[in-house]
């Protein structure tokens, strides 16, 4: 009887898995071990860690939430047999996009240094084989992810494009120490692989130290505030930011802190800052980034789903990454 039932199983399903069914990988992609990634355009890995935040915790749940939200686009693509992007008017062949999901990096909530070593090693293993897409986690996770990307790719010089409300250039805090989510960019610039002249920041707002503009000028930091975005337009700003980061470097790594988006749109984050990007501007950012072949790795950080009961923050986060990969691999 069981054999007869088993023989019929393949004829029961509709051939398209519903977005809320099945195992939740990013875009319902293949689950693969980090050592078995041949043939994939992009590989996703999560970092469920928020032990370095200075404000509201909860980003440890970001990877799970982003994966769950991404299943909608996987469902649409399977259901409709391909998609037309109504923003760009382009046909999108998601069958040309090969994605794997390695699950989550092992983290150690009470040991930040060991967690950083784990992140660095796992991202390096992915970067050696494919385009890494990292789901955070608090923004501290970007520094070891960046180092892992550079090491695994074998690059000596890597540019860095940061989409963010905050500069994350703290070099020490009497409360949080030298390494926390407010120091990730300083750690990137001080690494052997980059410097401030190859760091571009887009969407910065709120408050920084009294002499921050002088620091930016002296260090060579390519700074684009929200006022620049408002006055010049997001596409122009992002294109200049990429060009600056890519100049005389081997590749560009992108980090997108979801608090770059206005909290009226994306409230599910640890340090919300009024006056940010609209959803439309955020999508324009990743569309522009995805067109540049210099971009060879990316992360999306600081999604804290508990602060957004509508689930809109993780939905936008997933859409941003889907759009980035679409532009990079599926058009």
For residue 8, is it within any domain?
A: no
User: Both tokens of residue 98?
Assistant: 């090969």
Integer Cα distance of 26 and 267 in angstroms: 22
For residue 9, is it within any domain?
A: no
Q: What is the structure's pLDDT at 175?
A: 73
Integer Cα distance of 18 and 74 in angstroms: 9
Residue 26 to residues 61, 170, 207: CA-CA distances in angstroms? 14, 32, 35
Residue 198 assigned ligand-binding role: no
Domain CATH code at residue 60: 3.40.800.10
List pLDDT tens digits, range 29-51. Answer: 999 999 999 999 999 999 999 99
For residue 264, is it within any domain?
A: yes
Name 277's bridge partners.
Answer: 261
Residues 6+ positions from 231 with CB-CB distance below 8 Å: none
Residue 211 assigned ligand-binding role: no
Residue 250 assigned ligand-binding role: no
Integer Cα distance of 22 and 44 in angstroms: 18
Integer Cα distance of 69 and 64 in angstroms: 9
Contact 282, 320 (CB under 8 A): yes
290: containing domain: 25-329
For residue 2, is it within any domain?
A: no
| pLDDT confidence band for 146 (50 / 70 / 90) | very high
Please say if the pLDDT value at position 80 is more than 60. no
For residue 17, is it within any domain?
A: no
Rounded to two decimals, what is the model's pTM?
0.93
For residue 7, is it within any domain?
A: no
Query: What residue has token string 């970007």?
Result: 142
Integer Cα distance of 68 and 58 in angstroms: 16
**Phi/psi at 76 (nearest 5 deg)?**
-60, -45
Total domains present in the chain? 1
Residue 168 assigned ligand-binding role: yes
Name 223's bridge partners.
Answer: 201
Residue 257 assigned ligand-binding role: yes
Q: Once rounded to an integer, what is the mean pLDDT over residues 145-173?
A: 95
């Amino acid at each position: 009887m069981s054999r007869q039932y088993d023989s019929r199983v393949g004829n029961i399903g509709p051939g398209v898995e519903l977005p809320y069914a099945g195992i939740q990988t990013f875009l319902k992609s293949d689950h693969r071990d980090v050592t078995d990634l041949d043939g994939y355009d992009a590989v996703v890995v999560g970092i469920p860690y928020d032990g370095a935040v200075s404000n509201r915790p909860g980003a440890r749940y970001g990877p799970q939430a982003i994966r769950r939200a991404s299943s909608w686009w996987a469902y649409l693509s399977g259901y409709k047999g391909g998609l037309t992007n109504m923003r760009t008017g382009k046909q999108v062949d998601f069958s040309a996009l090969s994605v794997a999901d390695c699950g989550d990096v092992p983290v150690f909530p009470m040991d930040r240094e060991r967690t950083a070593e784990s992140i660095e090693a796992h991202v390096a293993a992915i970067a050696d084989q494919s385009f890494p897409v990292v789901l955070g986690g608090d923004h501290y996770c970007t520094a070891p992810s960046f180092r892992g990307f550079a090491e695994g790719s074998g690059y000596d010089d890597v540019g860095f494009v940061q989409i963010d409300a905050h500069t994350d250039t703290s070099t020490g805090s009497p409360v949080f120490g030298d390494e926390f989510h407010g120091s990730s960019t300083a750690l990137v610039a001080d690494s052997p692989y980059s410097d401030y002249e190859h760091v571009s920041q887009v969407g910065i707002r709120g408050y920084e130290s009294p002499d921050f503009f002088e620091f930016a000028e002296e260090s060579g930091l390519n700074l684009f505030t929200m006022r620049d975005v408002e006055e010049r337009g997001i596409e122009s700003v992002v294109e200049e930011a990429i060009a600056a980061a890519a100049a005389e470097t081997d590749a560009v790594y992108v980090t997108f802190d979801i608090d770059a988006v206005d909290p009226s749109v994306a409230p599910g984050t640890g340090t919300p800052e009024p006056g940010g990007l609209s959803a439309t501007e955020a999508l324009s950012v990743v569309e522009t980034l995805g067109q540049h072949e210099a971009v060879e790795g990316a992360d999306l950080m600081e999604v804290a789903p508990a602060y957004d009961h509508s689930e809109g923050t993780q939905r936008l986060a997933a859409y941003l990454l889907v759009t980035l990969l679409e532009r990079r691999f599926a058009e």
